[in-house]
Amino acid sequence: MVNNSLRFQINLRILLTSIIILLLGGLIVIWQARTSVNREITSSLNLAKQLINLHIQSPATTVDLNDWLPSFVTLEQTRHLQIRLKQANGASVTFGANKQPETEHPMPPSWFIHLVTADVSGIEQQLTTAQGQPIVLMIAADPLDEITEAWQESGVFFAALLIMASITFIAVNLVFNKAFSAIQLIVSNLQTIEQGEYEQHLPSFSSLEFNQIASAINHMTITLAATKRENSALTLHSLEIQEEERRRLSQELHDELGQSLTAIKVMAVTAKTQPANSATIHQSIIEICDHLITVVRSMMRQLHPLMLEELGLKATLEDLINHWMLRQPELSITLNCSDDIDGLDAKMTIQLFRIIQESLTNIVRHASANQARIELSISDDDYLHIEIRDNGLGCVDNSPKSGFGLLGMRERVNSLGGLLRIHSEPGLGLVISVTIPLFIRLPT
């Protein structure tokens, strides 16, 4: 299907509207012309009938046609009439039919004459001339002169209507040309934004509506540019964290596993050459292996909590809280978690675990709090609600954006189709609220 431009659609509608107006105007003009011609002809016939009645009291009255008829024919009121005298032998004489207007005008078209002409009955009057000859005076309508005048008036009306329609068409196009230029500029800017270039901004427009659109688009580009910078910084920070974790794991493998395995190997060789010290060596090997198990478990917990898949999110969070409370005895952490949490999708639970893990890390590092509370619940309308509250220092801004921890949490919530809100006041702690719809499927 071809999508026509807005300019074409507007011009087409103006054209159709003008045609409809012209058709309606034409119908009105024809109706008015027909009414006017009919009224004028009827008035002329009535006048002629009255004049005849004034001069002739009865059909037997003798009339001097040479004295009365020329004066009657030359009256202005009889110019729309055709007057004929019919003699007894059948011959007829016409008066007034060849009268021409003072100024010649083009003959109206036949279709206009047909539409405007009305059927009006003529007048027939029996007369007796002064010579005693019977004669019939016949008066019929001759509306051509009146129709010509109506045609001229209609032409003027249609000319004025066409001029007005043309002026309206030109004025509308001039107005819309400016609007189309603004629309083209906005579309061009949106195409630039689509390509990921957010630095170009729209200028101000004289029109209030276009200026509001430009302000909204400029605000959107500023927000997109800021989000792009944050995402780039977050991506770079994630890569740095990844490299840091690899470096740390490599260091731990070297320091812990490498040295412990070397010690076990040395002890095994020693036990082989010195059987007398085998009991002491065996005990040392056992202690080293226990230490290695602890180190490996710590590394596994940092990389991925296997407990999350084995025991569920609730048990994993309890283990995480116990771990932090052992490291931070002055911090009291309370968990209020619904049992329905363990029925969530595995892809969602790992994200929820990381969100709460990052929140606890921020509380320990920055809040200087001695109490924290974590609540997880599922509402009846299938929304997951998480609230993490502490009584720490808080902050002035209710939506702190500094720090990659909060940015990472916000990105995780956004990936789940949820909403993260932060409320804080100086000295009154900080509250993180997360709402995630459970009826939205995650991408596989």
Domain ranges across the chain = 6-172, 305-444
Is 85 strand, coil or helix? strand
pLDDT at site 1: 42
List CB contacts of 242: < 8 A, sequence separation 6 or more.
Answer: none
pLDDT at site 389: 93
Architecture of domain 305-444: 2-Layer Sandwich (3.30)
- Give me the percent of the chain exceeding a pLDDT of 70: 80
Q: What is the average per-residue pLDDT within 140-164?
A: 80
- DSSP annotation of 365 reads I
Q: What is the average per-residue pLDDT within 374-391?
A: 92
User: Which of 31-35, 269-273, 360-364, 399-403 is most confident?
Assistant: 360-364
Name the average pLDDT for the chain: 78
Its sign, for the CA torsion 401, 405, 411, 416, is: negative
Q: What is the average per-residue pLDDT within 425-432?
A: 86
User: Which of 73-77, 136-140, 166-170, 354-358 is most confident?
Assistant: 354-358
Least confident range from 31-35, 49-53, 72-76, 86-90: namely: 72-76
Question: What pLDDT band is residue 433 in, cutting at 50, 70 and 90?
Answer: very high
pLDDT at site 179: 81
pLDDT of residue 117 exceeding 80: no
Q: What is the average per-residue pLDDT within 189-216?
A: 84
Taking the C-alpha atoms of 86, 90, 95 and 96 in order, what is their torsion angle to the nearest 10 degrees?
Answer: 100
Higher-confidence residue of 265 and 80: namely 265
Its sign, for the CA torsion 403, 406, 410, 415, is: positive
Instruction: List the 430-437 sheet strands across, edge first.
Output: 332-337, 371-378, 383-390, 430-437, 419-424
User: Which of 116-120, 194-198, 243-247, 334-338 is most confident?
Assistant: 334-338
Is 137 strand, coil or helix? strand
Least confident range from 58-67, 160-169, 256-265: namely: 58-67
Higher-confidence residue of 137 and 153: namely 153
Residue 299 to residues 243, 251, 286, 302, Cα–Cα distance (Å): 15, 12, 20, 5
- Give me the percent of the chain exceeding a pLDDT of 90: 10
The total of other beta-carbon atoms located within 10 Å of residue 48's CB is: 22
Q: Are strands 134-141 and 81-87 parallel, antiparallel or unpaired?
A: antiparallel
- Token pair recorded at residue 27: 């119908």
From the centroid of its chain, how far is CA 207? 18
Phi, psi dihedral angles at 435 (to 5 degrees):
-125, 125
CB 374 within 8 A of CB 337: yes
Q: What is the average per-residue pLDDT within 75-90?
A: 65
pLDDT of residue 218 exceeding 70: yes
pLDDT at site 432: 92
CB 108 within 8 A of CB 147: yes
Q: What is the average per-residue pLDDT within 78-100?
A: 62
Higher-confidence residue of 301 and 148: namely 148
In this prediction the pTM is 0.49
pLDDT at site 419: 92
Higher-confidence residue of 287 and 122: namely 287
pLDDT of residue 167 exceeding 50: yes
Phi, psi dihedral angles at 126 (to 5 degrees):
-75, 125
Q: What is the CA radius of gyration of the chain?
A: 52
Q: What is the average per-residue pLDDT within 44-57?
A: 67
pLDDT at site 73: 61
Q: What is the average per-residue pLDDT within 375-398?
A: 85
Task: Look up tokens 């059948």; give the residue.
Answer: 90
pLDDT of residue 101 exceeding 50: no
pLDDT at site 98: 43
CA gap 244, 249 in Å, rounded: 8
Least confident range from 108-117, 122-131, 353-362, 371-380: namely: 122-131
pLDDT at site 136: 73
pLDDT at site 96: 53
